[in-house]
A and B are shown apart, each in its own frame.
Chain A
Amino acid sequence: MSPSYLAQDPTLADFGRDPWWLVLGKIVFAFAFGLLATLLGVWFERRVVGYMQVRPGPNQVGPFGLLQTLADGLKMAFKEDILPKAADKVVYFFAPTISVICAVTALSVVPFGPMVSIAGHHTPLQVTDVPVAVLLLLACSSMGVYGIVLGGWASGSTYPLLGGLRSSAQMISYEVAMGLSIVAVFMTAGTMSTSGIVAAQGDGTQLSIFGTDIPAPGWYAILLLPSFIIFFIATVGETNRAPFDLPEAESELVAGFMTEYSSLKFALFMLSEYVAMVTMSAVTTTLFLGGWRAPWPITLWEGANSGWWPMLWFFGKVIALVFVFVWLRGTLPRLRYDQFMRFGWKVLLPINLVWILVLSGLRSIEDWDSRGKLIAVGIPAGVLLIATLFWPSRRPQPKPTPQEQADNRPYGSFPLPPMDLQVPPSPRITRVVAEREPANIVAGSDSREV
């Protein structure tokens, strides 16, 4: 690793030295990134879900339907803004803005790239960074819930209120799991600043196993796999995306917290949902997927992690994660509310706690090298994996055939059609009737029916 390579990593000392126009430019860039990501994200989601459901998706407005979201947004802006009579006017007005502001603010501490040179200024591609940047992200996501909860409450009707209530309970539960999985990142990286975490994921340790040097990956998605999985699940819960979109479950709550919203206020809620999805993908990328660092085959090229290129890797990772969000939505049915809560509190939380305990135990053993630690983790994990794969399953009871089930029914059961029922041919197809045997249907053939 050459010194010039290391100089690409911004440290906390590199922030706060920009002239005002550069700061303004970065802020505008982050904001525009959020808006543009929403525009393209809605299109992307509809196209991908369309592909998964074997239909074209939006393809009329602009090339490949790219401008569909823009057209929808314009239409929404010109719609009538309905204010319900029972609404709490001030809170009703502010709720969508709270949502959007919190979702966009989180982008300010996301590192988009390493140090670059803009008009002679050597500056990191990140709006700002603080020693507690990840906590700022958590704060943004927990404040964003206020928008949803207050929107539901201020609408003054039942379904939004239920959606808001669900949302508040959901966010509190899943934020616990989310915070705990970040703890593992803090412990490993030794810092809470986002640029520091990205830098910490850069140096993969060299492992010498059986005489050969193998570069171990530095990404926390691999080192801290359980944390990564739990964090991403919690992220889906935190952003109200399917299969955890209970606050806006359309089969139960119409549209949940945004039932009464229309026009631009509704558009703001929509915007905040997609910005939150993109922000959370960016945060997951930063915390677990090496941030703007290039993935393995590209790192063979010397200049992969310097200059403006890393922004491309960053966007690629974010898009991949957004695709996973969409994939989940296209694949999984919505959870029932009690299943959802049980999953959060009784599965994610205990696993997380045990994992943190194991991790801190491993880290406190100082006289082991990384290879010893890897063996200490890898062998039990492998044994556990093989055991679960090849564990002899209890021989299931042979399932009774449908005929046996029908015979075993008690007297007076609900009437069943005869088991050998042949569908009677349509009387209009006379030719086929002649070729088939007559249907074997006798009324009341089942003696157990009453």
Chain B
Amino acid sequence: MTMSTVLAAAGGVSGGEEVTFWILAPLALLGAIGMVAARNAVHSALWLVLTMLCLGVFYVLQAGPFIGMVQIIVYTGAIMMLFLFVLMLVGRDSSDSLIETLRGQRVAAIVLGLGFAGLVGGALYRALEGTTAVGLEQANAEGNVQGIARLLFTKYVFAFELTSALLITAAVGAMVLAHVERRKQDKVDQPSTMKARFAPGNYPGPKPGPGVFATSSSVATPARLPDGRLTERSTPDILPVRELTAQETTLKGTDR
């Protein structure tokens, strides 16, 4: 098999696996730290993408090519893309402010985080020290994808279906929340829009911009039509239409 040279085998750690691990593990850590430390939200998301990519490669390395690829497609390709989508909608200058609202919060977070990492690492090390992994060959005996499918649809089928039901409920809930009920007669199709546009009493052309043929550059000054009349349609509705008085149009003496 092509994978045997690089991928994990039950017995020990091959050279290729070790090299890949030592290249990617620092990168994954760097991504994790960068994700927390980056001030820009998009940069933060990108660091997380790096970590997720490294994790995907790790899964492939651990003889789980299917879960590795799914990690890259689903997490990196779809979920992080949605994150980026939202971040970009919010705006690109939404950097975090550096003002600490809780005094000493950052130091406490770092200390607690390191402590937690130490605890988990220590526990894992104590638990796994000296044990050799077995059963990889049997698990992948008929192929990685087939093995996962067998477990997913036999032993874990209840959990699998439950998870999918949960996800569908969430999706339907989001749709219901975002749904705007519109009655059938409220929907306007393109022909009726056009008919309304050219109906008598409605001027079909674009509105004149404020200040067209005007005596002032104020938006409150209505446009003057070619025949000399003022047109109310050129000013915003909240502004009263008025002609400027002579007193208003005379120079204010600021030019002297």
Contact = CB atoms under 8 A, between A and B. Distances in A.
A88 to B, nearest CB: 8
Interface in A140-167: 142-143, 145-146, 149-150, 152-153, 156, 161, 164-165
A450 B186 CA distance: 31
B144 A411 contact: no
B200 A135 contact: no
B208 interface: no
A175 B76 CA distance: 13
A51 interface: no
A165 B73 contact: no
Given A132-B65, A143-B72, A149 B81 contact: yes
Interface string A103-142: 0000000000000000000000000111110011011001
Contact of B2 (A129, A143, A164): A129
A16 to B, nearest CB: 3
Contacts of A143: 72, 76-77
Interface string A395-423: 00000000000000011111000000000
B3 A138 contact: no
A168 B1 contact: no
A389 interface: no
Nearest to B200: A412
B67 to A, nearest CB: 9
B92 A161 contact: yes
* Chain A interface, >50% SS class: helix
Contacts of B72: 139, 142-143
Nearest to A413: B200
A312 interface: no
A150 B43 CA distance: 10
A91 B46 contact: yes
Of the listed residues B43, B65, B81, the one surrounded by the most CB atoms of chain A closer than 10 A to its CB is B81
Given A13-B1, A16-B2, A153-B42, A164 B88 contact: yes
A91 B1 CA distance: 39
B73 A139 contact: yes
Contacts of A12: 1-2
Contacts, number: 103
Given A132-B144, A411-B200, A413-B200, A139 B3 contact: no
A450 B4 CA distance: 87
Given A139-B73, A169-B85, A410 B46 contact: no
Given A132-B65, A136-B69, A165-B85, A16 B3 contact: yes
A345 B42 CA distance: 27
Given A135-B69, A136-B69, A149 B3 contact: no
A15 interface: yes
Interface residues of A, number: 41
Contacts of B201: 412
Contacts of B88: 149, 152-153, 161, 164-165, 168
A130 B65 contact: yes
A132 B81 contact: no
A142 B5 CA distance: 28
A99 to B, nearest CB: 14
B198 interface: yes
Contacts of A17: 2
Contact of B84 (A130, A131, A149): A149
A385 B256 CA distance: 85
Interface residues of B, number: 35
Given A16-B3, A414-B204, A135 B73 contact: yes
Contact of A130 (B2, B43, B92): B2
Nearest to B64: A132
B66 interface: yes
B251 interface: no
A132 B73 contact: no
A42 B81 CA distance: 30
B61 interface: no
A146 B81 CA distance: 8
Contacts of B70: 135
B200 A410 contact: yes
A13 B145 CA distance: 17
B198 A414 contact: yes
B85 A135 contact: no
Interface string A182-199: 000000000010000000
Given A139-B77, A153-B92, A132 B69 contact: yes
Contacts of B43: 91
A138 B66 CA distance: 12
A268 B12 CA distance: 42
A135 B66 contact: yes
A39 interface: no
B78 interface: yes
Contacts of B78: 142, 172, 175
Nearest to A192: B145
Interface in A420-442: none
B195 to A, nearest CB: 11
A171 interface: yes
A165 B89 contact: yes
B4 to A, nearest CB: 8
A168 B85 contact: yes
Contacts of B42: 88, 91, 153
Given A131-B144, A146-B49, A171 B81 contact: yes
A216 to B, nearest CB: 27
B82 interface: yes
A139 B69 contact: yes
Contact of B73 (A13, A16, A142): A142
B143 interface: yes
A186 B3 CA distance: 21
Contacts of B3: 16, 130-131
A128 to B, nearest CB: 7
A450 B200 CA distance: 10
Closest 10 CB pairs of A and B: A142-B77, A16-B2, A412-B200, A135-B69, A15-B2, A139-B72, A132-B65, A168-B85, A132-B69, A139-B73
Given A131-B144, A135-B66, A168-B88, 10 more contacts: A16-B4, A132-B145, A135-B70, A138-B69, A139-B56, A145-B77, A149-B81, A150-B84, A161-B92, A165-B89
